[in-house]
Amino acid sequence: MRCQKHLFQLPDDIHYLNCAYMSPLLISAEEAGVNGVLRKRNPSTFLPSDFFDEVAELRASFAKLIHAASAEIAVIPSVSYGMANAVNNVIPRKGQHAIVISDNFPSGYMTLKSWSNRHRAPIRVIVPNSLREGKVQKGERWNQRILEAINRDTALVMAAHVHWMDGTRFDLKAIGSRCREMGAKLIVDGTQSVGALPIDVKEYHVDALICGAYKWLMGPYSFGLAYYSDAFDQGTPIEESWMNRTNARDFSSLTNYGMEYTPGAGRYNVGQASHLIHTPMAMEAVRQLHEWGVENIQNYCAKLTQPLVEFIQSIGGQLEAPAYRAHHLIGFQLPENMDAQALLEKIRKRKIYLSLRGNSLRISPNVYNDEQDVEALIETLKEML
């Protein structure tokens, strides 16, 4: 795969290594969004079936990306919304608890906290050990601790494929199979991985996968897509959209209040899911991801960041072991004595964009980056470290 910058409108003089913050817009998605705005000029061209068919197409396309069925996908406005639909429908037995990885993004954690208060069910936060423990690195032990913590009293496990702060990779296949064995639900925040790292929700036994669209899915902000397995088929959604009922397509008889939900995850679609602007933008972005191939994106990022990884290793910097880190989101833990803010300022002056999370530089490239972006970062780090 070659650099795909020509499909975006990123300025030539910046080095944007911050997809974990927000992806730039594909030109094609931008055009789809503008067409969406213009479409409302003349509502006579907008057919009743358009309210349903475009969303159906998007759900099918996203489903393919994660190896699910389109009926298992719901359109959500945010991760917190998608998390609430999942977490609220896990009813713990007396004495059960929830497990969550430490420093989980607040959209999931806060939802879990309110679940915990409501059900008086404790949350067990699984923390990593220090970065190195002899030869064992943080990711391996962290994964092991999660597996050890899951037992028959675990109602749900909230995790991610890739930690949003430093890119630590979680072995969802092992976690999912342990959850299945113990009867726990696995709820995954896919915001920092889906679109850049392949996932198979069936193979990994994921029960719910919640994704904001504006990062690795390259979609619009205030939009997301979620997967809910059949474990949630009888759940209660957080709102009651008429569009999620089986009689919704028949506009002439909407007040025959059909109480039957559309099958699968249909009940979890946000009200007005057929967003005139967001749906075509997301559709175009997911289409492009299919065209590139998610595995190719991950491999592109791996090749691109290889010189950076070698540089960090050459100065004795701390990086996670290859099996426990992703290539699209790299956490480089800065030396203790380093003035991280000063470093970040210097990086910004060079028009290099990345994030600082805790004491780690979070470097998150994608297919619009090239060798020069990585080289610019290495040069700046060389001066400062």
Binding site for ligand PLP (CB under 6 A): 78-80, 105, 107, 164, 189, 191-192, 212
Residue 50 or 103 having the CB closest to ligand PLP: 103
CB of 222 to ligand PLP, least distance (A): 8
Cα(343)–Cα(43) distance, integer angstroms:
52
**Minimum distance from CB of 234 to ligand PLP (Å)?**
25
- CB 40 → ligand PLP: shortest distance, Å? 25
Four-residue CA torsion sign, 235, 171, 359, 312: negative
Q: For residue 74, what is the enclosing H or E element?
A: strand 73-76
Among candidate residues 53, 149, 65, the one with its CA nearest the CA of residue 99: 149
Give dist(CA 332, CA 89) in Å, integer. 37
**Paired sense of beta strands 185-189 and 154-160, if any:** parallel
Residue 154 vs 191, nearer CB to ligand PLP: 191
Enclosing H/E stretch for 116: helix 106-119
**Between 92 and 224, CB nearer to ligand PLP:** 224
Q: Which is nearer to ligand PLP, 36 or 212 (CB)?
A: 212
The tokens describing 192, both together, are 């920092």
> How far apart are CB 100 and ligand PLP at their closest, in Å?
12
User: Residue 225: beta bridge partners?
Assistant: 75, 211
Closest distance of CB 349 from ligand PLP, Å? 25
Task: Give residue for tokens 């896990």.
Answer: 90
DSSP 367: T
The helix or strand, by DSSP H or E, that contains position 372, with its residue range, turns out to be helix 371-384
**Least distance CB 119 / ligand PLP (angstroms):** 22
Which of 42-50's residues contact partners 24+ apart within 8 Å by CB, and which partners? 46/276, 48/249, 48/251, 49/249, 50/274
Give the sheet arrangement for strand 330-333, strand by strand: 330-333, 360-363, 355-357
Please say which residue, 89 or 364, places its beta carbon nearer to ligand PLP. Answer: 364
Q: Give the shortest CB-217-to-ligand PLP separation in angstroms.
A: 12
Q: How far is the CB of 145 from ligand PLP (least distance, A)?
A: 20
The residue among 192 and 305 lying less far from ligand PLP, judged by its C-beta, is 192
Count CA atoms within 13 Å of residue 45 on its CB side: 8
Considering beta carbons, is residue 156 or 381 the nearer one to ligand PLP?
Answer: 156
Q: Take residue 322 and report the two structure tokens written for it.
A: 């290859």
Nearer to ligand PLP, 107 or 333 (CB): 107
